[in-house]
Amino acid sequence: MDLMEELKQYMEANNFERFQPRELYEPLDYILSLGGKRIRPLLTLMACRLFTDKVDQALPAAYAIEVFHNFSLLHDDIMDESPIRRGKATVHKKYDTNTAILSGDVMLVYAYEYLSKVPTEHLPSVLKTFNEVAIGVCEGQQMDMNFEKQEEVAEQSYLKMIELKTSVLLYGAMKIGAIIGGASEEEAELIGAFGRNTGIAFQLQDDYLDSFGKQAKVGKRIGGDILQNKKTYLVITAMQKSNQKQLKHLKTLLSQTVEREKEEDKIEEVKSIFRALDIPNEMEKVIHFYSNKAIENLEATHLSEQQKKPLLNLLEKLMHREH
- For the chain, domains (ranges, CATH) are 1-183 (1.10.600.10), 199-308 (no CATH)
Note if the pTM is more than 0.75: yes
Specify the DSSP class assigned to residue 88: E
84-85 and 88-89 beta bridge pairing: antiparallel
Q: Which residues contact 26 (CB under 8 A, 6 or more apart)?
A: 16, 95
- Rounded CA gap, 153 and 147, in Å? 7
Q: What percent of the chain has pLDDT over 70?
A: 97
What is each CA distance from 1 to 8, 45, 170, in whole angstroms?
Answer: 11, 13, 24
Q: Output the CA torsion 37→38→39→43 (10° steps).
A: -150
pLDDT in tens, 31-56: 999 877 899 999 999 999 999 999 99
- Rounded CA gap, 57 and 286, in Å? 37
- Rounded CA gap, 139 and 48, in Å? 27
CB 44 within 8 A of CB 62: yes
pLDDT in tens, 125-142: 999 999 999 999 999 999
pLDDT digit string (tens) for the chain, length 323 residues: 699 999 999 999 999 999 999 999 999 999 999 877 899 999 999 999 999 999 999 999 999 999 999 999 999 999 988 888 888 899 999 999 999 999 999 999 999 999 999 999 999 999 999 999 999 999 999 999 999 888 889 999 999 999 999 999 999 999 999 999 999 999 999 999 999 999 999 999 999 999 998 754 545 568 888 998 889 999 999 999 999 999 999 999 998 888 988 999 999 999 999 999 999 999 999 999 999 999 999 999 999 999 999 999 988 888 876 54
